[in-house]
Chains A and B, each alone.
Chain A
Amino acid sequence: MKLLNRSLLYLSVTFLVIIGIWSVIFYFNIKDEIRDSIDDGLDNNKLLILQKTKTDPSLFFQDEFSGNNFEIHPISKQKALVFRDLYKDTLMYRLNENDLEPVRILHSAFEHQDNYYHLKVISSLIEEDDLIEDSFWSIIWLFLILIASILIVNNIVLGKLWKPFYDILERLNTFRLDKDEASLMIPTKTKEFIQLQQASNALFRHSKKAYISQKQFTENASHELQTPIAIIINKLELLLESEYLNENDAKSIAKVISIAGRMKRLNNSLLLMAKIENKQFLDVKTVSINKITKEFLTHYKELTEYRQITVQFIETKQCSVNMNNALSEILISNLIKNAIFHNKQHSNITIKITKQEFIISNQGETNSLDSKLIFNRFEKDASKTNSTGLGLAICKTICNAYASDISYSFSENQHSFKINFKNITSRD
């Protein structure tokens, strides 16, 4: 939810509550006030009638309202003496409205020449349901107008006030470590935004520094480790050529060479993953997954023939993706190699390429592998000690770098790996 809308939401809820409570209080106050003044009027009428009875005895025969606003009935002395003035709401039939309408009535008692009388004075009362309805609608209108004006003010004034904020946000969103970007220079006089800008710039600088030093570490680690490994391997290779070696020594040396070779591959693979994660493979172009797959199938042809593996290659469409060429080759070749080496002899490998997907399946162990662990680093088949266990981890790293999903599934003795390239499919 946008900041503007959120503040609008809070304001509307607050207004709704305040206006609601206020209108209820207001309604009762008004009602009280109206009753008060009507009661005053009734009291005044009563006094006027009492005055008039002194001069006009005909009033004593007024025993029903019928057009007048009072009636007089004689009552006993006992009743009259305990009588107190009483104001009440009641309903009376009204001819014009053909309905019962609320009226205010004053019951009173008085004495005239030792006779006691009961006096009722009425006054028509405001219609409460009408009052409620009218005030309800005016309050709704008030509320709507308030919200509308806040909306307008928010959008115009606050939109202007918050503009530097949105500008900074936009820059933060598009900021990329690997691009050489200038620091933020959004013109603003608001203290908070200036601070935000300064904090963002400081963060940029720190990240960039960390990024560069990490990159340097990657390169240095590569350099520093590769040379000693090279010396180990090459010195041993020279030693192997010595005439004075016996067979057992030679075999031990060969073993050490192969272990050093594993160290070399481990180092290379870890550095490769670090480089991918550091986004050091920036050069992106359109590559055809179909073409790469065919190239590697040719490259491994003798190997598949030797292992008597039949490769079924199904292309339903051209799959062109935008990615780094070297990485796309590593990705596809790793998966093909993985399928070849974990396949049973005399069985099939199926590769299917659609517009967005690359699927490779092979027959291997009869049990499913753990799809959660399989892409982890150093997760490997215990029987294959010479493997680095990084092949699939590299695939996963490459896929992550390109927001593509790689998944593993097992059904009918087929281990399948599927890559979905939908986020980087080329539009050409």
Chain B
Amino acid sequence: MKILVIEDEIELQNIIKTSLLKEQYTVEVASDYYAAQEKITIYDYDCILLDIMLPNGSGMNLLQELKKMNKSGSVIIISAKNSVSDKIKGLELGADDYLTKPFHIAELTARIKAVIRRNNLDGKNYIELGNIVLHTQDRTLTINGNLIHLNRKEFDILYYFLLNKNRLITKTALAEYVWGDHIDESDNFDFIYYQIKNLRKKLDNAEASIIVDTIYGIGYKLSEK
């Protein structure tokens, strides 16, 4: 899987690159309009992370060029502008997702995997890991072929964990994923803890081959047993 990161802020570019390398992706970077233009013309990528405000030009123009060239890769816009009109414009121009800065790394990883999965789906709308299968379309979980009932939040949490397999997810990132952006009460963490306790119990009872570990009390990590 090849990913191109178009981002003019070098620090952020490095962070994204480091994180994506951990996911075993091949990562290339571009820091301005012309470099990005050259790369997208010559190579094909499975996913392009595109910043809108770039030196020498706008990411929106790059998006238009991409679509003109009929390239098949997914595009995720990462922008500091949290503006509805930009979001709509980007999606209309053919971007697959729009992520507003600042975001959590877990969120970015989840979004990348989600769009790549969607584009390379071949009719496959489930995630399989060990003996568990999570059906994203009808929102169900089967372990060893047995249907396990999850409430909506448990499902969301497990899905997020699966997209961030073997990565640390902080409680903050998890709470924001589950509740959306504007939640800010710390009471959430107890709730998240409670949901994870239930999830673990369900996974254990069904003898799942995955485990959710608590890391230093600051976050969680899902891995295969």
Query: Chain A nearest CB: distance from B34 CB in Å?
Result: 21
Pair A223/B12 contact, Cβ less than 8 Å: no
* Cβ-closest chain A residue relative to B88: A283
Query: Chain A nearest CB: distance from B164 CB in Å?
Result: 11
CA distance in complex: A251, B171 (Å): 12
Q: Which B residues are in CB contact (< 8 Å) with A391? A: 182, 184
* Cβ-closest chain B residue relative to A324: B84
Query: Chain B nearest CB: distance from A84 CB in Å?
Result: 106
Q: Among A240, A306, A307, point to the contact of B168 (Cβ < 8 A).
A: A240
**A241 interface residue (CB < 8 Å to B):** yes
Pair B9/A227 contact, Cβ less than 8 Å: yes
With contact pairs A250-B218, A262-B184, A265-B182 given, residues A226 and B170 touching in the complex (Cβ less than 8 Å): no
Pair A333/B182 contact, Cβ less than 8 Å: yes
Type the 1/0 row for B177-213, where 1 means its CB is closer than 8 Å to any CB of A: 0000111111100010011000000000000000000
* Cβ-closest chain A residue relative to B15: A234
Pair B11/A231 contact, Cβ less than 8 Å: yes
Q: Which A residues are in CB contact (< 8 Å) with B102? A: 226-227, 229-230, 232-234, 260, 264
Pair B151/A302 contact, Cβ less than 8 Å: yes
Q: Main secondary structure on chain A at its contact with chain B? A: helix
**B26 interface residue (CB < 8 Å to A):** no
Pair A250/B216 contact, Cβ less than 8 Å: yes
Type the 1/0 row for A261-282, where 1 means its CB is closer than 8 Å to any CB of B: 1101100110100000000000
Pair B105/A254 contact, Cβ less than 8 Å: no
* Cβ-closest chain B residue relative to A232: B102
Pair A258/B216 contact, Cβ less than 8 Å: no
Q: Which B residues are in CB contact (< 8 Å) with A224? A: 80
**A115 interface residue (CB < 8 Å to B):** no
Query: Chain B nearest CB: distance from A419 CB in Å?
Result: 18
**B94 interface residue (CB < 8 Å to A):** no
CA distance in complex: A231, B11 (Å): 7
Q: Which A residues are in CB contact (< 8 Å) with B16? A: 234
Q: Which B residues are in CB contact (< 8 Å) with A302? A: 151-153, 191, 195
**B81 interface residue (CB < 8 Å to A):** yes
Q: Which B residues are in CB contact (< 8 Å) with A346? A: none
**B115 interface residue (CB < 8 Å to A):** no
Pair A240/B218 contact, Cβ less than 8 Å: yes
Question: Chain B contact residues (Cβ within 8 angstroms of A): what range?
Answer: 35 or more
Total count of chain A residues near the partner, CB < 8 A: 50
* Cβ-closest chain A residue relative to B194: A306
**A181 interface residue (CB < 8 Å to B):** no
Q: Which A residues are in CB contact (< 8 Å) with B101? A: 226-227, 229-230
**B82 interface residue (CB < 8 Å to A):** yes
**A222 interface residue (CB < 8 Å to B):** yes
**B18 interface residue (CB < 8 Å to A):** yes
**A219 interface residue (CB < 8 Å to B):** yes
Could you say which of B16, B81, B152, B183 has the most chain A C-beta atoms within 10 Å of its C-beta?
B183
Type the 1/0 row for B15-44, where 1 means its CB is closer than 8 Å to any CB of A: 110110010000000000000000000000
**A337 interface residue (CB < 8 Å to B):** yes
With contact pairs A234-B102, A254-B216 given, residues A240 and B185 touching in the complex (Cβ less than 8 Å): no
Q: Which A residues are in CB contact (< 8 Å) with B140? A: none
Pair B216/A222 contact, Cβ less than 8 Å: no
Q: Which A residues are in CB contact (< 8 Å) with B170? A: 237, 240, 254, 257-258
Pair A234/B12 contact, Cβ less than 8 Å: yes
CA distance in complex: A371, B80 (Å): 36
Q: Which B residues are in CB contact (< 8 Å) with A231? A: 9, 11-12, 15
**A404 interface residue (CB < 8 Å to B):** no
**A428 interface residue (CB < 8 Å to B):** no
With contact pairs A227-B80, A238-B19, A241-B22 given, residues A387 and B184 touching in the complex (Cβ less than 8 Å): yes
* Cβ-closest chain B residue relative to A266: B184
Pair B185/A223 contact, Cβ less than 8 Å: no
Query: Chain B nearest CB: distance from A6 CB in Å?
Result: 48
Q: Among B12, B84, B191, point to the contact of A230 (Cβ < 8 A).
A: B12
Q: Which A residues are in CB contact (< 8 Å) with B187? A: 341
With contact pairs A241-B22, A265-B184 given, residues A227 and B104 touching in the complex (Cβ less than 8 Å): no
Pair B104/A241 contact, Cβ less than 8 Å: no
Type the 1/0 row for B208-225, where 1 means its CB is closer than 8 Å to any CB of A: 000000011111000000
Query: Chain B nearest CB: distance from A41 CB in Å?
Result: 99
Q: Which B residues are in CB contact (< 8 Å) with A222? A: 80-82
Pair B15/A257 contact, Cβ less than 8 Å: no
Contacts A254-B216, A306-B194 known; 5 new A-B pairs at CB < 8 A: A227-B12, A253-B218, A261-B172, A387-B185, A388-B184
Between-chain CB contacts (< 8 Å), 5 pairs: A230-B103, A240-B219, A261-B172, A283-B84, A306-B194
Please list the 3 inter-chain residue pairs (A to B) with the smallest Cβ-Cβ separation, ordered nearest first. Answer: A230-B102, A254-B218, A226-B80
Residues on B facing A (Cβ under 8 Å): 9, 11-12, 15-16, 18-19, 22, 53, 80-84, 100-106, 151-153, 167-168, 170-173, 176, 181-187, 191, 194-195, 215-219
